């Protein structure tokens, strides 16, 4: 069964490499392939990792038709428009969203977007702690694959260095992957502003409480959040400078110029969840403070003050 990866950023490329290293027929499509097909490497997004022989670079997205399994590795805020544009190609396929976030315009996660734009497709979510460079380098990783009846898909996408755990809780998995990025920005801000590692631990723990509250609101299973896509990815992303969300927070906290053109999913997702939390009446103070700092409505000092002066409560 052939597999296509659509979106040749760092993550899509790394997944395609790992799948192809196991000898699977894998095709990778980029909207702007540059010299990928001749260089046999994604020199722009993931340099230094040559393509295995069984990885084919697709010139035309229409050729995705030969694959039953399609991995969607475009940034979250582009997913809805991307699927709507190409919906005719995705009839009856298994669409595996590899992006992490919540759509700002609609407040929807990837599974719901897939269901609404491609109703004949089977939605799945791939999420969990894994940096693209680690996957491409063949280092060991463990991720969660969420899909109804996902046993065959789990076997199809497991590789020598990607161990997949299976669940049917798509909502829980996508929420874990989306919200950990928001907490990672908050943690980066705290470390960048010199607030210390104890503050980071507090933000991770109370951020996790916000993730659980949001997950309960959306009907996710609480234990999913304790797994790889929630707790696992939160741990990785809030503690490594390889994370773009954490590094973005660090830069903000230090008061340095912010990077441009980098995929920092937590920015839009923080706004999306803050809006939804506010309208649903659930408390997500850390996400709200991240938004206030991003929008320059509060300084970092004021945001900290505001978090610390909230009414005392039970844990
Ligand atoms: N990098 C990582 O370690 C991990 C990333 N992820 C998730 O994967 C998703 C993608 O991230 P990542 O690969 O790192 O991102 P990158 O920033 O490396 O690349 C984004 C890619 O998406 C492409 N793209 C953007 N808009 C469109 C569009 N409308 N149609 C087609 N392609 C488009 C870009 O094309 P172009 O090059 O032409 O601009 C680019 O190749 C994110 O949601 C991220 O959270 C998940 C786990 C790990
Ligand atoms: O999701 C990731 C690791 O699991 C990658 O994190 P960043 O998008 O912050 O780089």
Residue 5 · residue 71 · CB < 8 Å: yes
How would you classify the pairing of strands 55-58 and 69-72? unpaired
Residues 6+ apart with CB under 8 A from 89: 61, 62, 64, 65
- Report pTM: 0.98
Among the listed residues 180, 218, 271, 313, the single catalytic one is 180
Query: 149 a known binding residue?
Result: no
Percent of the chain with pLDDT over 70: 100
Dmax (CA) of the chain = 61
Per-residue pLDDT, 262:
96
Average pLDDT score over the chain: 97
Q: What is the residue range of 255's domain?
A: 178-308
Say yes or no: CB of residue 75 within 6 Å of ligand 1.
Answer: yes
Q: Catalytic annotation on 78? A: no
Say yes or no: CB of residue 7 within 6 Å of ligand 1.
Answer: yes
Which one, of 178, 118, 119, 116, lies nearest residue 146 by Cα? 178
Number of structural domains (the chain) is 2
Q: Ligand 2, from 15, 100, 179: best to mutate by most atoms within 8 Å of Cβ? A: 100
Express each pLDDT in 264-286 by its tens digit.
999 999 999 999 999 999 999 99
CATH code at position 61: 3.40.50.720
Point out the domain boundary residue: 168, 201, 221: 168
Does residue 143 share a domain with residue 107?
yes
Does residue 244 share a domain with residue 107?
no
Does residue 202 share a domain with residue 268?
yes
Strand partners, 256: none
Q: How far is CA 84 from CA 12, 61, 164, in A?
A: 20, 14, 29
Does residue 44 share a domain with residue 153?
yes
| pLDDT, average across residues 148-156 | 97
Express each pLDDT in 80-136 by its tens digit.
999 999 999 999 999 999 999 999 999 999 999 999 999 999 999 999 999 999 999
| pLDDT, average across residues 210-232 | 97
At residue 172, the 3 state secondary structure works out as helix
Q: For residues 121 and 114, what is the distance between their CA atoms, to the nearest angstrom?
A: 8
| pLDDT, average across residues 227-243 | 98
Helix 110-117 and helix 76-86, axial crossing angle in degrees, nearest 10: 10
What is the token pair recorded at 286? 């850390």
Min mean pLDDT across 130-134, 162-166, 209-213, 255-259 is at: 255-259
CB atoms within 10 A of CB 168: 13
> Above 80 in pLDDT, residue 1?
no
Asked if residue 62 is part of any domain, the answer here is yes
Per-residue pLDDT, 69:
98
Q: For residues 283 and 266, what is the distance between their CA atoms, to the nearest angstrom?
A: 18
Residues 6+ apart with CB under 8 A from 34: 43, 44
Per-residue pLDDT, 59:
93
What is the token pair recorded at 59? 């010139």
Which ligand 1 atom lies nearest to the CA of residue 133? 3
Does residue 201 share a domain with residue 110?
no
> Above 90 in pLDDT, residue 73?
yes
At residue 141, the 3 state secondary structure works out as strand
Strand arrangement of the beta sheet that strand 141-146 belongs to = 55-58, 26-29, 3-6, 69-72, 94-97, 122-127, 141-146, 162-167
Point out the domain boundary residue: 130, 148, 168: 168
Residue reference for tokens 């990866």:
5
Per-residue pLDDT, 22:
86
Q: How far is CA 195 from CA 130, 186, 301, in A?
A: 27, 11, 10
> Above 90 in pLDDT, residue 258?
yes
Q: Kindly indicate whether the ipTM for this predicted assembly is greater than 0.95, answering yes or no.
A: yes
The rounded Å distance from CA 100 to ligand 2 centre is: 8
Q: For residues 63 and 35, what is the distance between their CA atoms, to the nearest angstrom?
A: 19
Point out the domain boundary residue: 168, 201, 230: 168
Does residue 161 share a domain with residue 20?
yes
Query: 7 a known binding residue?
Result: yes
């Amino acid at each position: 069964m052939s597999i296509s990866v659509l979106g040749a950023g760092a993550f899509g490329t790394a997944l395609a490499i790992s799948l192809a290293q196991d000898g699977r027929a894998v095709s990778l499509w980029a909207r702007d392939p540059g010299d990928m097909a001749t260089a046999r490497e994604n020199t722009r997004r993931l340099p230094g990792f040559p393509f295995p022989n069984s990885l084919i670079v697709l010139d035309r997205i229409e050729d995705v038709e030969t694959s039953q399994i399609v991995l969607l590795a475009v940034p979250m805020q582009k997913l809805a428009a991307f699927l709507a544009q190409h919906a005719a190609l995705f009839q009856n396929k298994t669409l595996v969203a590899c992006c992490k976030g919540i759509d700002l315009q609609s407040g929807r996660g990837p599974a719901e977007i897939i269901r609404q734009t491609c109703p004949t497709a089977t939605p799945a979510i791939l999420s969990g702690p894994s940096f693209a460079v680690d996957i491409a380098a063949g280092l060991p990783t463990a991720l969660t694959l969420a899909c109804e009846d996902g046993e065959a898909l789990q076997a199809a996408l497991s590789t020598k260095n990607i161990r997949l755990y299976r669940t049917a809780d798509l909502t829980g998995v996508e929420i874990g992957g989306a919200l950990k990025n928001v907490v990672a920005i908050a943690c980066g801000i705290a470390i960048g502003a010199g607030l210390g590692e104890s503050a980071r631990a507090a933000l991770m723990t109370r951020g996790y409480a916000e993730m659980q509250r949001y997950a309960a609101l959306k009907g996710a299973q609480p234990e999913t959040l304790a797994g790889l896509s929630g707790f696992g990815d939160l741990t990785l992303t809030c503690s490594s400078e390889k994370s773009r969300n954490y590094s973005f927070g660090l830069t903000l906290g230090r008061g340095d110029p912010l990077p441009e053109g980098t995929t920092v999913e937590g920015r839009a997702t923080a706004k999306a969840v803050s809006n939804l939390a506010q309208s649903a009446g659930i408390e997500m103070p850390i996400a709200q403070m991240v938004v206030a700092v991003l929008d320059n409505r509060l300084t970092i000092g004021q945001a900290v003050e505001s978090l610390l002066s909230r009414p005392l409560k039970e844990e």
